[in-house]
Amino acid sequence: MQFGILVNEGPYSHQASDSAYLFARTALEKGYKVPRIFFYHDGVYNASRLATPPQDDRNVGARWSKLAADYGVDLVVCVAAAQRRGITDGVLGDNFRISGLGQLVEMGIQYDRLVTFGD
């Protein structure tokens, strides 16, 4: 079973990104495949390495980067949504990349399930 995951909300102000992370990590731990996670709308803010949350809280961006490093997940940030919000290659966290919406459509075509996290 291959899951594609779509994250539509930014970190901290909304639970969507936390839920998406927990879903993805659990699926991977249980042996399912999550080849790619796509970040859209304010979800692109998950990719910023400029965020410095308090040390006693989770670091959402770093957590995504580690998940990608541990399991080889492709973290893709929508270029159009990113450009609107000032997310550029220069501020991307480790293992994130910027690409087009075609990468999202491909997940829908190729994977067994596409799971959306957002409002």
- The answer to the question of residue 100 lying near another protein (CB under 8 A) is yes
**Pick 57 or 119: Cβ nearer another protein:** 119
Q: How far apart are CA 96 and CA 50, in angstroms?
A: 13
Query: Least distance to another protein from the beta carbon of 40, Å?
Result: 7
Contact code string over 35-54 relative to another protein, x by CB under 8 A: -----xxx------------
Q: How far apart are CA 32 and CA 35, in angstroms?
A: 10
DSSP 15-65: THHHHHHHHHHHHHHTT-EEEEEEE-GGGGGGGBTT----TTS--HHHHHH
Q: How far apart are CA 40 and CA 32, in angstroms?
A: 23
- The answer to the question of residue 26 lying near another protein (CB under 8 A) is no
Q: Which 56-85 positions form the footprint of another protein (CB under 8 A)?
A: 80-81
User: Which residues form the catalytic set?
Assistant: 78
Question: Where do contacts with another protein occur on this chain (CB under 8 A)?
Answer: 6, 8, 40-42, 80-81, 100-102, 104-106, 108-110, 114, 116, 118-119
